[in-house]
Amino acid sequence: MLKQIINGRILTPEGWLEGGSVIIDGNKIKAVSNSDLHIVDAEIIDAKGCYVVPGGIEMHVHGGGGRDFMEGSEEAFRVAIKAHMKHGTTAIFPTLSSSTVPMIEAACETCEKLMAEENSPVLGLHLEGPYFNPKQAGAQIPEWIKPPVAEEYEPLLDKYPCIKRWDEAPELPGSAEFIKSCRKHGVVAAIGHTRATYEDVVAGHDAGMSHATHFYNAMPVVYKEHEFKVPGTVESIYALSDMSVEVIADGIHVPPVMLRVVYQIKGVEKTALITDSLACAASDEGVAFDPRV
Ligand SMILES: [Zn+2]
């Protein structure tokens, strides 16, 4: 049976739509219509003027419902994915924080299994690390952070097509080779947990980096050396207009004024909103995979 959501402000790629409707067939969004004429036999849902965001694609998310993707198990994946699906996510790229190779392998095996299921909401795996700048570790587990190791990443990229994105700090030795290998395997290389200078960002971009991980977080902004201003990683990414960014748009990780600046400079087409949420999201348990959190 069809469901039709009416009387909401619907977010579309072209902006807000008023007086339209969202039509759902089973567990799929069938259409976003500019008409709110009732469809015969459809169940009508009155949004009462609320926002309707048809189809959130979560591309940076560590877990939810009390479970973390770093656990690697099918059960952990299913619980976390379900928690996000219940809150408006329609497709998801599970994220692994800096992990050991056996942990990455376990998550890849699980991810590929889930992706093979019919109508799977899982579109691929996102690896956030471990090739990061230790000075910008943030919430990453510091013992697991290191420069790129070809003997590790090459076999992983060869074996697991589920890997769709890999975040790295381009100032590290061996970066260009890592980024090129990602691109060769069709994997998005993103800059993150970094102290990259403008030159480092350009070198990473030249090698194929195209995206910035939780922009503004775990990367420096402009600073002063004596009388001279030095562009931070943030300004360097602004300067490269074809680079896309993602922001943790909770108004805290990136305050509203800075969100507006991101929107004005990068625009809708180059900006993604992410949750970067942990196991405690959509859960009352308050647990995290990393006991320091
Ligand atoms: Zn993250």
Distance (Å) from CA 192 to ligand 1 centroid = 10
Residue 50: pLDDT over 80: yes
Shared-domain flag, residues 25 and 140:
no
CA-based Rg of the chain, rounded to a whole angstrom? 20
Q: Which two tokens stand for residue 162?
A: 């589920």
Asked if the structure places residue 241 within a domain, the reply is yes
Residue 139: the pLDDT is 84
Domain that holds residue 181: 56-274
Shared-domain flag, residues 156 and 207:
yes
Distance (Å) from CA 117 to ligand 1 centroid = 26
Distance (Å) from CA 218 to ligand 1 centroid = 10
Shared-domain flag, residues 65 and 191:
yes
Task: Output phi, psi for 150, to 5 deg.
Answer: -60, -35
Asked if the structure places residue 293 within a domain, the reply is no
Neighbours of ion ligand 1 (CB under 5 A): 128, 276
Distance (Å) from CA 139 to ligand 1 centroid = 8
pLDDT in tens, 14-36: 889 999 999 999 888 999 999 99
pLDDT in tens, 139-161: 888 999 999 999 999 999 999 99
Asked if the structure places residue 160 within a domain, the reply is yes
Shared-domain flag, residues 32 and 110:
no
Counting the structural domains of the chain, the total is 2
pLDDT in tens, 79-127: 999 999 998 899 999 999 999 999 999 999 999 999 999 999 999 999 9
pLDDT top residue among 26 and 274: 274
Residue 27: the pLDDT is 82
Shared-domain flag, residues 126 and 17:
no
Q: Domain boundary residue among 52, 74, 94?
A: 52
pLDDT in tens, 214-223: 999 999 999 9
Distance (Å) from CA 80 to ligand 1 centroid = 15
Shared-domain flag, residues 132 and 260:
yes
What confidence category does residue 284 fall into, taking pLDDT thresholds of 50, 70 and 90?
confident
Distance (Å) from CA 98 to ligand 1 centroid = 9
Distance (Å) from CA 126 to ligand 1 centroid = 9
Shared-domain flag, residues 149 and 23:
no
Residue 48: pLDDT over 90: yes
Q: How far apart are CA 20 and CA 6, in angstroms?
A: 7
Residue 293: pLDDT over 80: no
Asked if the structure places residue 292 within a domain, the reply is no
Let me know if 223 is exposed, middle or buried by CB neighbors in 10 A (0-12, 13-18, 19+): exposed
Shared-domain flag, residues 167 and 264:
yes
Give the rounded distance of the alpha carbon of 199 from its chain centre. Answer: 25
Residue 287: pLDDT over 80: no
Residue 290: pLDDT over 90: no
Shared-domain flag, residues 236 and 252:
yes
Do residues 208 and 182 touch, judged by C-beta distance below 8 A?
yes
pLDDT in tens, 153-203: 999 999 999 999 999 999 999 999 999 999 999 999 999 999 999 999 999
> CATH number, domain at 43?
2.30.40.10
Asked if the structure places residue 287 within a domain, the reply is no
Residue 264: the pLDDT is 97
Residue 285: pLDDT over 90: no
Distance (Å) from CA 94 to ligand 1 centroid = 10
Residue 292: pLDDT over 90: no
Distance (Å) from CA 23 to ligand 1 centroid = 33
Residue 230: which of 221, 219, 222 has the closest Cα? Answer: 222
Distance (Å) from CA 226 to ligand 1 centroid = 34
Do residues 164 and 123 touch, judged by C-beta distance below 8 A?
yes
Shared-domain flag, residues 187 and 155:
yes
Asked if the structure places residue 29 within a domain, the reply is yes
Distance (Å) from CA 61 to ligand 1 centroid = 6
Distance (Å) from CA 135 to ligand 1 centroid = 16
Asked if the structure places residue 185 within a domain, the reply is yes
Shared-domain flag, residues 65 and 193:
yes
Distance (Å) from CA 128 to ligand 1 centroid = 6
Residue 55: pLDDT over 90: no
Question: Does the bond joining 130 to the residue before it have cis omega, within 30 degrees of 0?
Answer: yes
Shared-domain flag, residues 18 and 129:
no
Residue 268: pLDDT over 80: yes
> CATH number, domain at 128?
3.20.20.140
Residue 165: the pLDDT is 98
Asked if the structure places residue 280 within a domain, the reply is no
Distance (Å) from CA 95 to ligand 1 centroid = 7
Mean pLDDT of the chain: 95
Distance (Å) from CA 174 to ligand 1 centroid = 23
